[in-house]
Structures are given as structure tokens and as C-alpha cells.
Amino acid sequence: MANYQLIADDTTGNYLLLRNGWQLGTRLYGIIIHVEVKSDGKVWLQQDTTDLVVADLLLEKGIANDDLVLGFLTPAMREDMEVV
């Protein structure tokens, strides 16, 4: 059975949701969501393996479009798109 762990580090601004455990003899371990708040106030979505579209949820909660960075995309891809 997989367990979920929330790791919140206010000192570095890193917030992660991890899956950790076993299912049918297979090891399950990985980062599901990783949000990093940088010192300049930008919110970097480093990982999102959910079907929730966490970027949209962050925008709905008041994060400005200009302050949200999709860190899991290459820099070139980020330049060519706008988070909506």
C-alpha cells in the first residue's frame, strides 16, 4: 500500500507531495507535486504528475500569471507559452 507524505520546508520554500510504498510487490516512490517559492516571489511548479492541473489551481488561488513558472518545461517552451 502506498503512503503519501507532505514535505513542507518554509526555510527553502519547497513543498512536495511524495508517494512512498509498495503495491503488488512493486516499489512506488516518486514526487507527485513539487512547488517552490523563490526569494523573488516567483512560484515554480517543478513537478505535477496529477490530473488536477495544479497550475490552474494556483492561479485560481491568486498567484499572478507572471509569478507562476512551469519549471518542468524547458526554458524555450516556457518563453513560447503563457500559463492560462
Residue 15 to residue 12: CA distance in whole angstroms: 9
Extents of the domains making up the chain: 2-80
For all residues of the chain together, what is the average pLDDT? 93
User: Which of the four pLDDT bands, split at 50, 70 and 90, describes residue 83?
Assistant: low
Residue 70 to residue 81: CA distance in whole angstroms: 10
pTM comes to: 0.86
Please answer whether residues 19 and 28 qualify as being in contact, where contact means their C-beta atoms are separated by less than 8 angstroms. yes
Residue 84 to residue 2: CA distance in whole angstroms: 33
Question: What pLDDT score was predicted for residue 29?
Answer: 95
Taking domain 2-80, whether its CATH number is 3.90.650.10 is answered by: no
Specify the amino acid at residue 12.
T
Question: What pLDDT score was predicted for residue 84?
Answer: 46
Cα 3 from chain centre = 18
> pLDDT by residue (tens digit) across 20-39?
999 999 999 999 999 999 99
